[in-house]
Structure 1
C-alpha cells in the first residue's frame, strides 16, 4: 500500500487561521446544540439588513451628505410602510401627490394624516398581502 500524502496546513495560511479560530471558538459555536432557543445561523438577523447590503455598491454613487440623508429617509419610509403593511407604491404615490399641495403651508399638521399608521393611509394604501 502506498502511503497517503497529506498537505500540511500552516498556522499562517488563510485556512490555518480559519481552523485555529474555529477551534478557539468551539465552545461558543456549539451552543445551539445544547440550547434549542439559539439558532444555528444568523439569517433571521441578516434578512432585515439585506436591502442595505445589496444597495451598498449603489451608495458609493451618493456624493453628498444631502444624498445620504435622502437615501436614509427613503429607506426609513419604505421600511416603516412595510412594517405597517402598506402598498409601498400606493403610499409613495399618496405622499408625492399630497405633500406638494402643502408646500406653502406654515402649519404642518397635514403630515399627521400621511403617517403610515394613520387611518387615512391604512385605508388608501393597504397591502395586497395584508391579513384580514
Structure 2
C-alpha cells in the first residue's frame, strides 16, 4: 500500500521534502550515535495529498534520488546540500523555503532588538508573506502567478539590490552575514516560487508533515532497530496521509486489516482499490446511499 504512495508522488508535478534524524539501538543494545534519517515527501494530487515517510541510514542525496528517480516537476526543500544533485536533472526544478531564510533574520532580531540589517532583511520577507496571506485557497494558479509578478517580484528585486550593497560591507563571521549569504547563495531556488502559481513560498507543508514524528521522538527517543524504523515509516505514512485527507486513521487502518488479506499480491491494481482516496470515495458513496 505504501508503495502506491510512492507511485502517486512520482506521478505528481510538485513534491515537498524534508528530513529529521532518528537514533537506533545496535545489535549489542547500544544506542547508535551516528544518526540515521527519516525523510518525508508530500506530493501527488494536492486535493488528495500523499505523505510518504522513508527511513534511510544516511542523509545523502541518494536517499531522495531513490524515491524521486521517476519524478518530473518541482521539488521544494530547505536547501539541504543533499538535494543539489537534482540541479543537474532536467526533469526537476528545485524550489527553496523562505521560512528557512526568514528564521535566520528573525533569530538575530531577537538578540539585537532594534533597527539594523537583520530587521531590514526580515522586513523584505514579511512583505512577501503579506502578499501570500492575501491569497485564498480557491484562487487559481494563474491569478496567483500574475499577482506575484506584479507585487512580489519588485520586492525580490529590491532585496537582491540590498544584498549586493550590504554583503561586501558585512564581516563574514557575523550572524547577519551568514543569513545574507544563505539568502544570496540560494537566491535562484528561493525566488523560484513566483514562476508558478501552484508553488508555495515555503516548505512548511513538509515541515508540518514530519513534525508528528519529531514530537513523538521526544517520548520514545530511538527505534529498536532498522526494521522498527522502517515499520514506523510505514505507519506514519498511513496515519499522516489519512490526517491530510481528513480520514480517521484508526478507521482506515481497521479497514485495511479487514480488506488487504483478500487482495491478490500478484495483482497490484487490487491495492489501488483501497488507497485513502478510494476509501474516501467508498465512504462518501455509502453515506449518500444511506441518506437517500
TM-score by length of 2: 0.29
Which of 31, 36, 43 pairs up with 2:124? Answer: 31
Q: Which residue of 2 aligns with 1:115?
A: 275
Preserved CA contact (<8 Å) 2:243 2:249: yes
Instruction: Rate the CA distance shift 1:111–1:34 in 2: closer, same or farther, 3 A.
Output: closer
1:106 paired with 2:200, answer no
Instruction: Rate the CA distance shift 1:38–1:74 in 2: closer, same or farther, 3 A.
Output: same
Preserved CA contact (<8 Å) 1:31 1:38: no
Structure number with bigger Rg: 1
- Which structure shows the higher strand fraction? 2
Preserved CA contact (<8 Å) 1:81 1:116: yes
Question: Structure 1: any 5+ residue segments left out of the alignment?
Answer: 1-16, 127-132
Instruction: Rate the CA distance shift 1:38–1:18 in 2: closer, same or farther, 3 A.
Output: farther
1:75 paired with 2:236, answer yes
Higher relative contact order (CA 8 A, sep 6+): 2
- For residues 33 and 74 of structure 1, the distance between their equivalents in structure 2, rounded to whole angstroms, comes to 37
Question: Structure 2: any 5+ residue segments left out of the alignment?
Answer: 1-109, 134-202, 286-292
Q: How do 1:1-132 and structure 2 match up within 5 A?
A: 18-19=111-112, 23-31=116-124, 34-35=127-128, 36-37=130-131, 45=204, 47-58=208-219, 60-102=221-263, 105-118=265-278, 121-122=279-280, 123-124=282-283
Preserved CA contact (<8 Å) 2:209 2:240: no
Query: What is the CA-CA distance between 1:60 and the residue it aligns to?
Result: 2.8
TM-score by length of 1: 0.57
- For residues 117 and 33 of structure 1, the distance between their equivalents in structure 2, rounded to whole angstroms, comes to 36
Preserved CA contact (<8 Å) 1:87 1:125: no
- For residues 220 and 261 of structure 2, the distance between their equivalents in structure 1, rounded to whole angstroms, comes to 27
Query: What is the CA-CA distance between 1:33 and the residue it aligns to?
Result: 5.4
- For residues 67 and 33 of structure 1, the distance between their equivalents in structure 2, rounded to whole angstroms, comes to 42
- For residues 230 and 118 of structure 2, the distance between their equivalents in structure 1, rounded to whole angstroms, comes to 39
Instruction: Rate the CA distance shift 1:29–1:105 in 2: closer, same or farther, 3 A.
Output: closer
Q: What RMSD, in angstroms, separates the aligned Cα atoms of the two structures? A: 3.5
Instruction: Rate the CA distance shift 1:58–1:125 in 2: closer, same or farther, 3 A.
Output: farther
